[in-house]
């Protein structure tokens, strides 16, 4: 979502240059030693695509860590069988209706602005690292009618 510019983070500064939060500036003291001071005035070169899609942002996985807590209604299926007495004179012995759905609801903490914590932007056991190109899991609906003759 950062890469495409549709995340909250990439839009919060109007896609304009900004002072990167918690950043530091390296200078040298009189003895030539490196000194790091909090950055309060140096802006990013870009606040848009050239910042959010580049490695200075995307290679820092800590930018995409999120709370892994969630609750999910992963799958639901409801079936109703019509009483056979409704079909006694019509050549039909029975009828069943079913509806189903997958990935219907996911409850996330407000701190997770990305997507489902079960999905990851990398391979292996890296759940909870999100945001680079993940799309939410597909929500699927289905229905079924079964007739018995």
Rounded-to-integer distance, Cα 7 and Cα 63, Å:
12
Per domain, the residue ranges of the chain are: 1-59, 65-149
Q: List, for the chain, all residue ranges whose pLDDT scores fall below the cut of 50.
A: none
Residue 45's region, left for phi above 0, alpha for psi from -120 to 50, else beta, is: alpha
Tell me which residue has tokens 């993940």: 134
pLDDT for residue 117: 72
Query: What value does the CA radius of gyration of the chain take, rounded to a whole number of Å?
Result: 26
Residue 36: the pLDDT is 94
What pTM, to 2 d.p., does this model score? 0.53
Distance of alpha carbon 51 from alpha carbon 10, whole angstroms: 9
Largest CA distance in the chain: 101
């Amino acid at each position: 979502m950062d890469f495409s510019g549709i995340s909250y983070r990439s839009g919060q500064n109007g896609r304009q240059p900004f002072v990167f939060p918690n950043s530091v500036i390296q200078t040298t003291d009189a003895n030539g030693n490196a000194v790091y001071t909090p950055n309060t005035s140096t802006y990013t070169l870009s606040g848009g695509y050239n910042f959010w899609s580049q490695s200075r942002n995307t290679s820092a996985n800590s930018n995409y860590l999120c709370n892994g807590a969630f609750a999910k209604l992963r799958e639901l299926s409801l079936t109703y069988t019509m009483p056979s007495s409704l079909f006694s004179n019509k050549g039909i012995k029975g009828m069943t209706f079913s509806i189903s759905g997958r990935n219907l609801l996911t409850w996330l903490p407000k701190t997770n602005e990305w997507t489902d914590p079960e999905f990851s932007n990398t391979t292996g056991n890296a759940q909870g690292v999100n945001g680079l190109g993940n799309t939410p899991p597909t929500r699927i609906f289905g229905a079924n009618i079964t007739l018995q003759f």
